[in-house]
Amino acid sequence: QTNTIQSAYVAETGATLLEFATPDETIAAVMNGEADAVFADADFLLPKAEESGGTLMVVGDPVPLGGGVGMGLRETDTELKGKFDAAITSMKEDGSLNDLLIKWFGEGIGTY
């Protein structure tokens, strides 16, 4: 899938990267022989492998990517996005975001 943390990782490894518009298109590409593998979230891949009746399988050890979690908002929710952006910026500026990161994840966590 295009513009994902997984696509950036694959590109960095030197493997040939094929990008598709949707996660389901990546599965279809493997099924039809266009791609050799899909590198994606386990929560997406495990049910697909189970539904395939043995045609697909998940292999290898998990590869943790990124530094945390994200949140998705509808593109039309510009006011809500603005509120989140302002709150996060304020917390970065006053140090309270770092305080929370250290409190909940320990001194070794990356801070802002």
Q: How far apart are CA 15 and CA 7, in angstroms?
A: 10
Tell me which amino acid residue 89 is. T
pLDDT exceeds cutoff 80 at 110: no
pLDDT exceeds cutoff 80 at 2: no
Residue range 57-66, pLDDT digits in tens: 999 887 877 7
Residue ranges of the domains in the chain?
5-51, 71-112
Mean pLDDT (the chain, rounded): 89
Q: How far apart are CA 89 and CA 63, in angstroms?
A: 30
Q: Which residues contact 17 (CB under 8 A, 6 or more apart)?
A: 7, 10, 11
The model scores a pTM over 0.75: no
Residue range 82-109, pLDDT digits in tens: 999 999 999 999 999 999 988 987 887 7
pLDDT exceeds cutoff 70 at 48: yes
pLDDT score at 68: 64
Percent of the chain with pLDDT over 70: 97
